[in-house]
Amino acid sequence: MTPTPQQAIYRILDANLDRAREGLRIIEEWCRFGLNDAQLTQDCKALRQELGQWHSPELRAARNTPSDPGTALTHPQEETRADIQDLLHANLSRVQEALRVLEEYAKLYQTEMAAACKQMRYRVYTLESNLSGDDDLRQRLEAAALYLVTAPSQQLFAIVEAALQGGLKLVQYREKDADDQIRLAQAQKLRDLCHQYGALFILNDRIDLALAVNADGVHLGQQDAPIAVARALLGPGRIIGRSTHNPGEMERAIAEGADYIGVGPVYETPTKPGRTAVGLDYVRHAARNCPIPWYAIGSIDLETLGDVIQAGARRVAVVRAIMQAQDPLVTTQHLTTYLERMYGR
């Protein structure tokens, strides 16, 4: 017998509450017994308990396992796991997918449940980031061809989210003039946005704020703290970048242990007033000699990108090209598509 729409919705909610809680329990067991990490274990347990509070008797009563066609479905990829990271990734994805289903269908059941599941989904993204490990952060950095460095804007969050929706995977929050309370609040919101979309979040200059918001890393200028100091404070896992303007600064940054460098400004830019442009020669030098990821930066946009790529850049950082774009989403798509087409990412 075909269920009524209400019965179907109840069954969907019931099944996905079970799916999310099962996935969380698998992750929780590794946090507890594999990592001996009390905080991560507690995070998983709290999420499971919150989901359990929404698993009402009326949803459980709608369950009809014998007539569920999905119980017989399987896939070869579900039958084996390559390693613990593969197992964790599969179950994190399972939880995220289930929470997304719960968020949508709960809008037809209880809007409070939908809002709660949305927030839990964001927390699972953070959990995934905390479990990803050092190598994963650096692999994601390696794969990120486009880097947005923010500038102050009344539409800061809307612009960044549009760029993330356009495929951006690396964001640096740069704010030189606001007081620390504003910077802290903005950095926290941007970090949550980035992790929601699976992007890395880097904080400009401020190691203390990077720690406060659990950023993925920090970007340091030539006059900022030494890389060794940043590493001691941030630990081995987080990413540290350094601005460089000539081959000597590049060599020092590499020797000091930077995870990536900025190369520029390639062209004169109001973002760095008084800083002489380094031109394409330094880009060519980096292309020949830099063994770590590097980002050409400085007035790079859709018009100048071709020349910068021709000089050897495989990754670029932009500010105004996205922050002042009429349509940041489309501009991001165009920039990433150009880079992907050139280098097959």
Show which residues are catalytic: 174, 243, 272
Q: Which two structure tokens, joined as six digits, stand for 16?
A: 């996905």
How many of the other CB atoms lie within 10 Å of CB of 228? 11
Residues sharing a CB contact under 8 Å with residue 258, sequence separation 6 or more, in sequence order:
227, 240, 241, 242, 292
**Token digits for 343?**
């280098």
Backbone angles phi, psi at 263, to 5 degrees: -120, 110
- Give the span between the Cα atoms of 146 and 143, in whole angstroms: 9
Q: Is 99 exposed, middle or buried (0-12, 13-18, 19+ CB in 10 A)?
A: buried
Burial class (CB in 10 A: 0-12, 13-18, 19+), 85: middle
Q: Are the beta carbons of 211 and 194 closer than 8 angstroms?
A: no
Sign of the CA dihedral with 113 first, then 114, 119, and 125 last: positive
Residue 223 burial (10 A CB sphere; 0-12, 13-18, 19+): exposed
